Amino acid sequence: MLRSFNKLRYSTSTQVSLLAWVLTMFSLPILGWILGEDYLLRGLSVGVLVQVFTVLAILYQAWGLPRTFSVFILVAGLAYCAELLGVTTGLPFGKYHYTSILQPQLAGVPVLIPLAWMMMLPPAWAVAELITGASGRAISFLLVTALAFTAWDLFLDPQMVLWNFWHWDVSGPYFGIPLSNYLGWLLVSVFLSFIVKPKELPSGPLSLVYVLTLCLLAVGQGIFWQQPGPALIGFLVAGSIATLAFFRSKDVVVL
């Protein structure tokens, strides 16, 4: 039996993409052990692309192609602009720069990074909608979205710095990450959500992506990548948000 959130509907394409994404994530440490770091990095890029495809497949089923495509362009385009502003001026995240590892890059920003924003912002929308009962530009929805989205970076940033994907000019108190980074994530995620004004979300499948992501990151980072501190904190924060979303969901179904 699988207990899940309301609005739980899976098309065949969603099921296939979810399975492919989970299998890709499970294969990452195996690739690293057997084939070496180069293949691990390639697998990571593939994992991001598969998760983006999964999120887009879920949105496409609910919204159709025109709306899904327009949201993708908005989120990825504006996220790229935020990252470009960040590496150029240090605002709003703090001063940092990307290394040459993630390729291709456009003006010093890896193309993969805006796609990573796209793969996790809609799941954050979903849990925020379940918690608040609101969507669009409601203040409660925007604030919870920002918290749910930023919780992901409690895992991400320490791991990516460890893998030398980017560097902070000044080390900060959260495992070397400055707190300005998290303020930037909060601000940008609120801005993106305000611009997109997401409504009629397929909350069940997107929430499942959120839960699977936090579990995979907690296990991977805590066991395989040997960063138990960020793994535990990220799991507690993101897991608390996911748990609240589960219990605030009005129509839990059992399959």
- State residue 254's pLDDT score: 31
- State residue 178's pLDDT score: 97
In a domain, 186, yes or no: yes
Specify the higher pLDDT residue, 246 or 15.
246
CA distance 210 to 196: 19
The tokens describing 192, both together, are 């993106």
- State residue 91's pLDDT score: 93
In a domain, 42, yes or no: no
CA distance 50 to 12: 15
In a domain, 130, yes or no: yes
Specify the higher pLDDT residue, 205 or 179.
179
Pick from 14-18, 93-97, 116-120, 213-217: least confident: 14-18
In a domain, 66, yes or no: no
The tokens describing 93, both together, are 């995240």
CA distance 152 to 129: 17
Label residue 86 by pLDDT band (50, 70, 90).
very high
Rounded to the nearest 5 degrees, what angle is found at the Cα of 84, between the Cα atoms of 160 and 65? 90
In a domain, 22, yes or no: no
In a domain, 202, yes or no: yes
Report the SS3 class of residue 202: coil
pTM for the whole structure: 0.89
- State residue 7's pLDDT score: 44
Q: Give 24-50 pLDDT, tens digit per residue.
A: 777 776 766 676 666 667 777 888 888
CB 91 within 8 A of CB 108: no
In a domain, 95, yes or no: yes
Q: Work out how many domains the chain is built from and give that number.
A: 1
In a domain, 28, yes or no: no
Burial class for 85, CB neighbours closer than 10 Å (0-12, 13-18, 19+):
middle
Pick from 32-41, 82-91, 188-197: least confident: 32-41
CA distance 90 to 33: 36
Q: Which residues contact 87 (CB under 8 A, 6 or more apart)?
A: 96, 97, 98, 108, 109
- Residue 177 structural domain: 75-248
pLDDT at 250 over 70: no
Q: Kindly state the average pLDDT of the residues 96-116.
A: 94
DSSP per-residue codes, 138-150: -HHHHHHHHHHHH
